[in-house]
Structure 1
Amino acid sequence: MGAGGRAVNRLTQLEPSTVVNDHVAKIRNLAGLATPMALRVAVTLGLPDRLRGDGATVGQVAADLGVAPVPLELLLGHLTSLGIVERTSTGYRTTDFGATLYSDAGNGLTNFLHLDMAGGRAEMAFAELLHSVTTGEPGYTRRFGQDFWTDLAQQPHLRASFDEQMTHRFREQIPGLVAGFDWGRFTTIVDVGGGHGSLLAAILVAHDSLRGHLVDLDPTATEAVRTFAAHQVEDRAQVTASSFFDPLPAGADAYLLCDILHDWDDRDAHRILARCVEACAPAGRILVIEALGGRQDNTEFDLAMLAIFGGRERRVDEFRDLASAHGLVLQSTVALTDQRNLLEFRLAQGS
């Protein structure tokens, strides 16, 4: 074999190591924490907003924020490499790309990233993912010393940011949730843990013979009153400030649980369903709206449910087993949007 053949062989021998190095680089990029934490710290400090327009010097920003200038410049250097900010002759300023992180951008990113808002704080539970995977318990509790819901109850600003996050998350989904199911079959619906009431208000607007009753904790319940007034359905919408672990308003045709059960482990999910069955009329329905495991679930979101709440996106058979313990029969499953299904349950002795 000539020299050319030997060269080909040498190249062939080099290829596996090249592939391995490429894989190592990709995994390092996937696993690195510097960038996700830099973005979170930048949003928490308000850097994108502070560096609007002409921007500012490191010294000016450090003085404004009460932080050390040298570490701040290290952070800004990395944000520059990401295209979030850019250097100018007088310091740093936010780029058009970085403007996506403005607090008033209306895209939900501030809540998702800010370390002192519900979404960003909850994401830190991933630091305890090993604990969650090995025990099935929420990492949030291990990290912060109490569960997510207790944290919200004790810190009003977290509760407010969580409610805002949920309202934003549902904004684009609501038309599909309303149009994809025959809500007009019912005369009364109790929205269990219904948040600010955006979904129930939209259902009531679409069906003027329907009456609704929302149950949630204060101050969320107070905001729901305002939502119903803004949609001019307050005469057909009642609000009760209460936990869904307590007795629910009795005798309604349907009890709606929208994105509720995935926040809880099986023990607490059973407690919630038991309250719904206890209150439901004999021919009533329990309506569960969630992503379905194996269909619409997102693997990253699944891990978030585990780490934050100890919950998960359940599969149809898991919902069926969960409900059957309360004498509930799965009547139908309807895909409302690309992200959520509605599971309709009836009492076994009902019609």
Structure 2
Amino acid sequence: MDSAALDLLLAHLASLDVMQQTTAGYRTTEFGANLRADAGNGFTNMLLRLDSAAGRAELAFVELAHSITTGQAAYPRRYGKDFWADLAEQPRLRESFDQQMTLRFQHQVPRIVAAFDWSRFANIVDVSGGQGTLLAAILTAHPEMHGHLVDLAPTAADASRTFSAHGLDDRTDVTAGSFFDPLPAGADAYLLFDILHDWDDEHAHRILARCVAAAHPTGRILVVEAVGRQRSTSEMDLAMLVICGGRERELDEFRTLGLAHGLILDTVTTLTEERQLLEFRLEASGL
């Protein structure tokens, strides 16, 4: 490493209050400590490692003009394949993505569990539930509940380990699969946590159709998202477009999506500053 070049970088970081110059060299400031690998907040994975899923996705912003012109994701234009295909083909990217998805909302989990009456449901399917952090917390808080998590095989294996670590093996099932395939049938609730914003309307309809086909007649579809113009940010809106071709939908857009599948939006519950829970019921149930 070139010491003169490194000094230029450290001096610039000091001007941004990330580093502080001392008689012995440089050290991180209180603000800069958030970027340490041991900070436990995922910023290193997201901001400093350009070879991670998050870093690679950020680089797709160089093709922002393509997304603005066409309304389509920029990621395939830069890398020749869509974001999800890239994760599937490169295990290290998938691993960094799964880690980031867990880290980015872990501090919100207690509030998410406390802000909604999950105990209304005897069983719940967490659709594309990642490494199982949220479902494990819900089941731990409500010992009478049973949970079933669905995700792609490598991530599903991680979820199984999460449930075992929480002593939940007897109250959980894990299925390796996609939300574009048939889902476990007959559950009281199907949870889509930060899922629909990753997809355009065509794919969002396919996901909802699978949930409706699997749900018990009196079942509920629970959509947790940053609702557009209420909890979303313009930065995340652009990220969803550029990376995935999705977007942060507004409440009326969710209503319209649901109606196409006979779903009625019953209630909207604020979980945190960032996310709300939209509870849909099947119109045919009348309940």
Shorter-chain TM-score category?
over 0.9
- C-alpha deviation, 1:158, in angstroms: 1.1
SS in 1 for 2:156: helix
Aligned match for 2:36, one of 94, 97, 102? 102
Aligned match for 1:347, one of 265, 282, 285? 282
User: CA–CA distance in 2 between the matches of 1:169 and 1:139?
Assistant: 23
SS in 2 for 1:296: coil
- C-alpha deviation, 1:210, in angstroms: 0.9
Aligned 8 A contact 2:10 2:26 in 1? no
Unaligned runs of 5+ in 1: 1-61, 63-67
Aligned match for 1:219, one of 154, 157, 166? 154
| Equivalences for residues 23-172 of structure 1 within 5 A | 62=1, 71-85=5-19, 92-97=25-30, 98-113=32-47, 114-172=49-107
- C-alpha deviation, 1:85, in angstroms: 4.2
- Partner AA of 1:81 in structure 2: S
User: CA–CA distance in 1 between the matches of 2:107 and 2:180?
Assistant: 29
Q: Which residue in the other structure is 1:267 paired with?
A: 202
Aligned length: 284
Aligned match for 2:138, one of 196, 199, 203? 203
- Partner AA of 2:128 in structure 1: G
- C-alpha deviation, 1:258, in angstroms: 0.5
User: CA–CA distance in 1 between the matches of 2:28 and 2:256?
Assistant: 51
- C-alpha deviation, 1:109, in angstroms: 1.1
Encode CA deviations 1:177-221: one digit per residue, 9 max, x unaligned.
111111111111100000011111111111111111000012111
What's the Cα RMSD here?
Answer: 1.7
Aligned match for 1:181, one of 116, 138, 147? 116
Encode CA deviations 1:95-140: one digit per residue, 9 max, x unaligned.
3344432212212210111101122221112211111111111111
- When normalised by structure 2's length, the TM-score is 0.93
- C-alpha deviation, 1:272, in angstroms: 0.4
Q: Based on CA coordinates, which of the two structures has the bigger radius of gyration? A: 1
User: CA–CA distance in 1 between the matches of 2:22 and 2:136?
Assistant: 49
Q: Percent identity?
A: 62
Aligned match for 1:233, one of 148, 157, 168? 168
SS in 2 for 1:177: helix
User: CA–CA distance in 1 between the matches of 2:282 and 2:33?
Assistant: 51
- C-alpha deviation, 1:84, in angstroms: 3.7
- C-alpha deviation, 1:82, in angstroms: 3.0
| Equivalences for residues 326-337 of structure 1 within 5 A | 326-337=261-272
- When normalised by structure 1's length, the TM-score is 0.77
Q: Which residue in the other structure is 1:311 paired with?
A: 246
